[in-house]
Amino acid sequence: MLIAGPPGGPNRIPAFYKRRRKRSNEIGQVLIRNGVITPEQLRQALRIQSENGGHVGAILRRMGACDSRAIADALIEQVRVARHGGAGMAHRARQNPSIVGLNVACRPELSRTLLILTDLLTLGLAAGLVIAIVASDTLTKAQRFSVAALVPMCIAALTAVQMYGLTPPSPSEEIRRCTLTISLIYVGSWMIAVARQGAFHYLPHLAWLVGWITSVMLVPIGRGVLRTRLAKLPWWGQPVVVFGAGRVGRAVVATLQQRPQLGLKPVAILDDDPSKHGTVRATWGEDDLMVQSVRQGPESSHAHPKAEEINPKGDEPSFKSDDFETPSQRSALEQFAEVEGVPIVGGLELAPVLAQRLGIRSAVIAMPKLESAELLSVIERYAEGYSSVLVIPDLFNVAHFGTPTHSLGGVLGIEVRRQLLLAGPRFAKRLMDVVLTTLGGLPLLPFVLIVSILIKLDSKGTVFYHQKRLGQDGVRFKAFKFRTMYGDGEARLREVLEKDPAMRAEYEEFHKLTVDPRVTRIGRILRKYSLDELPQIWSVFVGDMSLVGPRPYLEREIPDMNGQEAVILRVKPGITGIWQVTERNASTFEQRVHLDVEYVRSWSPWLDLYVLARTLPVVLGGTGS
């Protein structure tokens, strides 16, 4: 059987399809491989699922993309593939119903210990550098001890500002807390040394300065490297149960799965809505938990649901039981519903027993449609066994990038800042741009010269390419880049899109092409590592752009921005930004606009430092255009 690929041939694979294709055993991917549906149909079904929930197979059937028989075949193939990785979740639940077959591998204390040890290492390196600056033979034992004491003092201060919780603050907030806390310890110790002329007094001011700068740089970097290396391991972080399988709950689980560095590992999802469940669910029996088939009552661990009862709402395909006589075929229809691999095991009544038997101490309540009284009832009845309960509001378009909360006389408020509209923050941002471009631009001049020569040798045309882009307040400016295309780019683009519907569909969603025939050989390398944007450093220096900011948009893209240009165009566009270091080219145009809006709303100098720190490894990783 031929494997169906995305329209347009094997060399033109939209970023969305490549991202989903990695999850090869999802039912949608199985249906694509079987040539039953197209990636565009799966994309549409997943959009519906993200808004309303439900099983992807049922949604595809209601869309008319496939029939009941095709979904049954895909389910059976899922079981066949899953066998190579061990027993399925439903099978494990029937074998061990008292804990619904769940396995909690997280070791929170080990994760916390490693975080502390990493800070001890980075702070120790800084203290060692201080001692190295001063000739070691001139320091007394007491003076060496005084320098070493800076390390536990910083650790104690970081503990006081809650930097060793397994759920870290936002990256920009973590940088801010680390910098201010360590600065307080160093500045305070330096002032005491100057005032009292004690053991610290022998240290020269240069040693204090180097120790402080090294500490505030190494501590956030060390933490970031630790999470990058270990966060994806199953034992990192702490387990969490998510209450709610609706739109908000699904978004929470997806975020936690995609960003394990946040420190919360979703283990199970609970929801009282039967339509959110799969063909099996856990529930209370007479004495203990048991696993039952939906619409069928309790069963033993070896029983199987009838094949025609695959969905409690009746919107899933129905089959004749004679078609599924073997255990493997029947078990294919016996599955928990899942969100990003996390099972929806049953109703909220399971929450206390999961906390007790699995030792889970954290819960996330993602049920924003509940009234206040109902929400308090859920917390008191089902979340009393959890020491940490996080309530998620349906404010995804407001709360982002560490948006602060405040208590107004006992009423919770979320602050939406507009710092970039103030003169002071704008001056600070501009000062940061000028200093960093001056320090970083001069060493790059020889590299710019080499790239210019390579471009001239590779193809005819100018070295630089400029295009009118929208700057602050909608003012048009010339954005310079290294030329990466053969010539009349816009005309070639129109011609390609007119001739190839698949490429037109890709461009309409992503506003980029994965394999662009217009790009030169050297241009592909420059784009892969985002080196084509180096000339924009000049635009930053003259004030048209900023180092960090929203993407510089084209005038023709305004109709697709859904009115958000009013927010984005209040500030200068940037060479790099939030979407470049998070979603990169895998995000849609709509998602990039949303991230740019939230950057403007949530700007702080710490957020810019975080983006700049993330830009270098992203560029070196070659995940550019």
pLDDT tens digits, one per residue of 309-325: 334 343 444 444 444 44
84 against 187, higher pLDDT: 187
Cβ pair 57, 317 in contact under 8 A: yes
Greatest mean pLDDT among 135-144, 450-459, 513-522 lies in 450-459
Give phi and psi for 298, each to the nearest 5: -65, 145
pLDDT of 215 higher than 90: yes
Looking at the predicted structure, is the pLDDT value of residue 6 above 60?
A: no
Q: What is the pLDDT, as a whole number, of residue 288?
A: 80
For residue 244, the model assigns a pLDDT of 92
Whole-number pLDDT of residue 80: 66
Q: What is the mean pLDDT of residues 343-370?
A: 91
Return the minimum-mean-pLDDT range out of 6-20, 71-85, 119-133.
Answer: 6-20
What is the model's pLDDT at position 309?
Answer: 38
Residues 6+ apart with CB under 8 A from 164: 112, 115, 116, 158
More confident residue, 23 or 582: 582
Alpha-carbon distances of 622 from 132, 145, 618, 619, rounded to whole Å: 38, 45, 7, 5
Those residues with Cβ within 8 angstroms of residue 522's Cβ, 6 or more apart along the chain or in another chain: 451, 454, 455, 458, 459, 484
Among the ranges given (25-39, 236-250, 501-515), the one the predictor scored with the smallest mean pLDDT = 501-515
Helix (H) or strand (E) holding 469: strand 464-470
Higher-pLDDT residue of 555 and 590 is: 555
Which residue would you say has higher pLDDT here, 112 or 259? 112
pLDDT at residue number 130? 83
61 versus 409: the higher-pLDDT residue is 61
- Give the helix ranges, DSSP H, for 521-604: 521-528, 536-542, 565-568, 578-581, 589-602
For the ranges 117-126, 498-507, 527-536, 579-588, the lowest mean pLDDT is seen at 579-588
339 or 58, higher pLDDT? 339
* pLDDT at 318 (0 to 100): 44
- The Cα-based distances of 328 to 78, 79, 92, 298, 474 in angstroms read 11, 7, 15, 21, 62
Residue 198 — pLDDT band, cuts 50, 70, 90?
low
Question: How far lies 77's CA from each of 19, 33, 34, 124, 232, in Å?
Answer: 21, 11, 10, 54, 28
Q: What is the pLDDT of residue 371?
A: 87
- Examine the pLDDT at 258 and tell me if it is beyond 60: yes
Q: Lowest-confidence range among 109-123, 363-377, 413-427?
A: 413-427
With tokens 């699922």, the residue in question is 49
536 vs 481: CA distance, rounded Å: 6
Q: Which region among 34-48, 192-206, 471-485 has the lowest average model confidence (pLDDT)? A: 192-206
pLDDT at position 212: 93
Write the burial class of residue 141 (CB in 10 Å: 0-12 exposed, 13-18 middle, 19+ buried).
Answer: exposed
pLDDT on residue 316: 42
pLDDT over 70, % of the chain: 79
Q: Residue 360: which of 383, 340, 386 has the closest Cα?
A: 386
For all residues of the chain together, what is the average pLDDT? 80
Q: Is 400 left (phi over 0), alpha (psi -120 to 50) or beta?
A: beta
Confidence of residue 135 (pLDDT cuts 50, 70, 90): low
Higher pLDDT among residues 198 and 570, named by residue: 570
Q: State yes or no: pLDDT of 339 exceeds 90.
A: no
Block residue for tokens 């930097």: 163
Residue 480: how many other CB atoms lie within 10 Å = 21
